[in-house]
Structure 1
Amino acid sequence: MRPEAAALLWDAREAAKRVTEFVSGLDEIGYRSDALRRSAVERQLEIVGEALNSLRRVDAETADQIPELHRIVGLRNVLAHAYAVVDDGVVWVAASERIPELISRLDLLLGEETTHDSSS
């Protein structure tokens, strides 16, 4: 893994962790009614998507190990460029169901990098 890739994975993981913190204790109705949290979650999802889009450019092999990468980047694009059509239900599912899975994958990839670095 290229050094830039590890930094991008770390950025994505940290933003993803913030998403889980921001939705912790909420249900979808609570999420939809809290403009501050919606804004915070959307911003962190933009960061996740941007970091992983950059990863695709600098280390395609590592990026290929992230399931549904195209959907993650697509959500980022909607959040950044088509804010008027953002579906809070889609964002809620991403934040509450998909992000924990993504964090696990990012942890795995970063753990492999740590293991690889320590054996060098």
Structure 2
Amino acid sequence: MDERILKWLYDIHQAIEEIDQYFEYHPKDFLAYKGNTMLKRAVERDLEIIGEAMNRILKRNYDISNRITASRAIISSRNQVIHAYDNVSDENIWSILINHLPILKKEISQLIEEN
């Protein structure tokens, strides 16, 4: 695998690890998340990093999209957080954290392990 792609996979992995660390000492509770602006901004920043890294990966090798569930949706989420910041829904971000991030973490870890 291309070294740049591997670096971006590590960037995604690191951003997911950071998000996990935000909840290390506190349970994942939507109402607590919704009320914590600093936590929301930190999560959104890591989602931006994940989306940008995914965008770069797919521009370099689109075939990887077959190995990452919802790779295009990841990029779309990044674009929404950056360009439509006034329409970012706490519920949508929470859904990403709870439903999609664990899947992405497994897929990214597997790609890294293979290389």
TM-score (norm 2): 0.93
How many angstroms does 1:64 deviate by?
2.8
Q: Identity across aligned pairs (percent)?
A: 27
Structure having the higher Rg: 1
CA-based RMSD: 1.1
Distance 2:15 2:60 in 1: 19
Unpaired stretches in structure 2, ≥5 consecutive residues: none
Instruction: Identify the residue that residue 94 of structure 1 maps to in structure 2.
Output: 96
Instruction: Identify the residue that residue 30 of structure 1 maps to in structure 2.
Output: 32
Runs of at least 4 residues of structure 1 off by over 4 A? none
Distance 2:76 2:23 in 1: 21
| Amino acid across the alignment from 2:20 | T
How many angstroms does 1:38 deviate by?
0.3
Q: Contact 1:49–1:73 (CA<8 Å) still a contact in 2? A: yes
TM-score (norm 1): 0.89
Matched, 1:48 2:68: no
Q: 1:97 to 1:23 in 2, by over 3 A?
A: farther
